[in-house]
């Protein structure tokens, strides 16, 4: 099922931006009570429409219901609730620490909303990655223009329908479209741009923002490695790597992208990966309903190209059905640094195993690839774990798990973003 997305006429976009500015200048977002009211409405937008959200994501990404409930619905509700509960604290002026230099004064830093924020979101989590930044923008007292990904037409249409029903329609506007519409948006001046997506488009965003000296927050992609110590719990390691690789059909920025194992351990680990996969997917994932689909044919072709050009050995998988947007979970071994699979973030259900001599070579390998979003270390030896953490750079790191480390209360997305949306 494919939904038709109504694109916003390009000529209307400057007017929408202008109206957002007028609404912001009305001053109503300065009230914390108003921000809380909008956040509670945003919460009910998701809560009341769970079934429609599930259907839209199924239409766009074929994603199983339990995966939608877990991150798109529960995760988004949790983030909005956190913003609601903390907005007073986040917005409160920060008093300067006592100093003899100014003890007769009471200096404080006020948190001022920036104005009109542009939020450009990607296809892979069409609700979480649009509404969590929106919660941050509302909590910080801004007006917002949302540009959802056109690659998820059902989700983008539903957002365009629901946002004006639930939120102040003058302060939050959805603009839908593809490259021409986004190009028009980027000609305009915003007070902050939040962009989540691929690194190539990030350069376009930054170039456009530079013309207006607009501050930008970027949430980009990367290749997140797994480093495996033969002394790890192999059963747990292999299951958790597969779960992380296959959730949302591998289309998660934090997916484990490739596995580094010692050469002497590759055979045993590959066998264990086969067993773990069979346990997780006992029936054909093409028909089981347990695996999502690739977002569109262009991305299926991209993955096909990576597989066609690999010099590694395919252990299992490899089936591709372009029309059904299906790419089978595929394990590839003996992959080298110059392989097609190492040329870009995979963003699909392909899992390469890269044999290395030892841990030092694994660390050199990781440092030779662009900085990772996360490094996953599978070991029961804390010295091994610390050696990887101390000698590599990544946004986050986790031991003996994948992805879930950013879903706990210690990493709240909206909380982190809102701090950049006030000055």
Q: Which of 122, 250, 349, 355 binds ligand NAD (CB under 6 A)?
A: 122
Considering only 59-67, 217-225, 270-278, 348-356, which stretch makes contact with ligand NAD by CB under 6 A?
Answer: 217-225
150 binds ligand NAD (CB under 6 A): yes
Beta 394-399 vs 372-378: how paired, if at all? parallel
221 forms part of the interface with ligand NAD (CB under 6 A): yes
Q: How far is CA 407 from CA 74, 227, 254, 416, in A?
A: 11, 21, 11, 13
The residue from 49, 149, 248, 330 that contacts ligand NAD (CB under 6 A) is: 149
Residue 220 near ligand NAD by CB under 6 A: yes
State the minimum distance, in angstroms, from the CB of residue 11 to ligand NAD: 18
Kindly write out the interface string for residues 289-318 of this chain, putting x where it contacts ligand NAD by CB under 6 A and - elsewhere: ------------------------------
Q: Is 145 in the site for ligand NAD (CB under 6 A)?
A: no
- Beta-carbon contacts of 361 under 8 Å, excluding residues fewer than 6 positions away, are none
Provide the Cα torsion 7, 182, 138, 123; round to 10°.
80
Q: Could you say whether residue 344 binds ligand NAD (CB under 6 A)?
A: no
Per DSSP, the residues of 133-182 read HHHHHHHTT-EEEEE--TTSHHHHHHHHHHHHHHS-TTTEEE---SHHHH
For the chain, how many residues are written?
A: 423
User: Looking at 88, 219, 263, 323, which residue is catalytic?
Assistant: 219
**Residue 219 bears catalytic tag:** yes
Q: Output DSSP code: residue 263.
A: G
Q: Kindly report the number of other CB atoms within 10 A of residue 135's CB atom.
A: 28
Verify binding: residue 351, ligand NAD, rule CB under 6 A: no
SS3 state of residue 310: coil
Task: Please count the CA atoms within 13 angstroms of the CA of 263 that sit on its side-chain side.
Answer: 6
Q: Which of 253, 307, 342, 372 binds ligand NAD (CB under 6 A)?
A: 253
Give 197 or 244: the residue with its C-beta nearer to ligand NAD.
197
Q: Which residues bind ligand NAD (CB under 6 A)?
A: 120-124, 129, 147, 149-151, 178-179, 182-183, 196-198, 201, 204, 219-221, 253, 345, 347, 373
Q: Which residues are catalytic?
A: 219
């Amino acid at each position: 099922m494919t939904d038709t997305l109504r694109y916003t006429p390009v000529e209307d976009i400057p007017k929408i931006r202008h109206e957002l500015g007028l609404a912001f200048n009305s001053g109503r977002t300065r009230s914390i009570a108003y921000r809380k009211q909008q956040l509670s409405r945003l919460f009910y937008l998701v809560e009341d429409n769970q079934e429609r959200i599930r259907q839209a994501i199924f239409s766009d990404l074929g994603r199983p219901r339990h995966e939608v409930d877990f991150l798109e619905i529960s995760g988004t509700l949790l983030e909005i609730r956190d913003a609601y509960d903390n907005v007073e604290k986040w917005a409160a002026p920060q008093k300067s620490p006592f100093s003899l230099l100014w003890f007769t004064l009471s200096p404080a830093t006020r948190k001022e909303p920036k104005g009109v924020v542009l939020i450009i979101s990607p296809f892979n989590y069409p609700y979480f990655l649009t509404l969590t930044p929106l919660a941050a923008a509302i909590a910080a007292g801004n007006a917002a223009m949302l540009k959802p990904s056109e690659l998820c037409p059902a989700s983008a249409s539903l957002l365009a329908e629901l946002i004006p029903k639930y939120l102040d329609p003058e302060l939050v506007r959805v603009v839908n479209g593809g490259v021409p519409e986004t190009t028009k948006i980027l000609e305009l001046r915003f007070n902050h741009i939040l962009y989540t997506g691929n690194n190539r488009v990030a350069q376009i965003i930054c170039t456009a923002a530079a013309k207006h000296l607009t501050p930008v927050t970027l949430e980009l992609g990367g290749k997140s490695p797994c480093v495996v110590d033969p002394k790890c719990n192999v059963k747990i390691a292999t299951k958790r790597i597969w779960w992380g690789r296959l959730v949302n059909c591998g289309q998660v920025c934090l997916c484990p992208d490739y596995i580094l194992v010692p050469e002497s351990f590759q055979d045993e680990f590959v066998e264990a990966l086969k067993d773990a996969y069979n346990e997780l997917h006992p029936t054909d994932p093409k028909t089981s309903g347990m695996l999502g689909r690739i977002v569109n044919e262009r991305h299926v072709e991209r993955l096909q190209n990576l597989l066609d050009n690999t010099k590694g050995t395919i252990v299992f998988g490899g089936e591709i059905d372009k029309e059904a947007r299906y790419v089978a979970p595929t394990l590839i071994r003996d992959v080298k640094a110059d392989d097609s699979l190492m040329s870009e973030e995979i963003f699909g259900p392909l899992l390469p195993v890269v044999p290395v001599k030892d841990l030092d070579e694994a660390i050199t390998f990781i440092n030779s690839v662009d900085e990772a979003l996360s490094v996953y270390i599978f070991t029961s030896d804390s010295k091994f774990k610390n050696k990887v953490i101390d000698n590599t750079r990544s946004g986050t790191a986790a031991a003996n798990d994948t992805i879930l480390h950013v879903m706990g209360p210690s990493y709240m997305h909206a909380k982190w973003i809102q701090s950049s949306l006030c000055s």
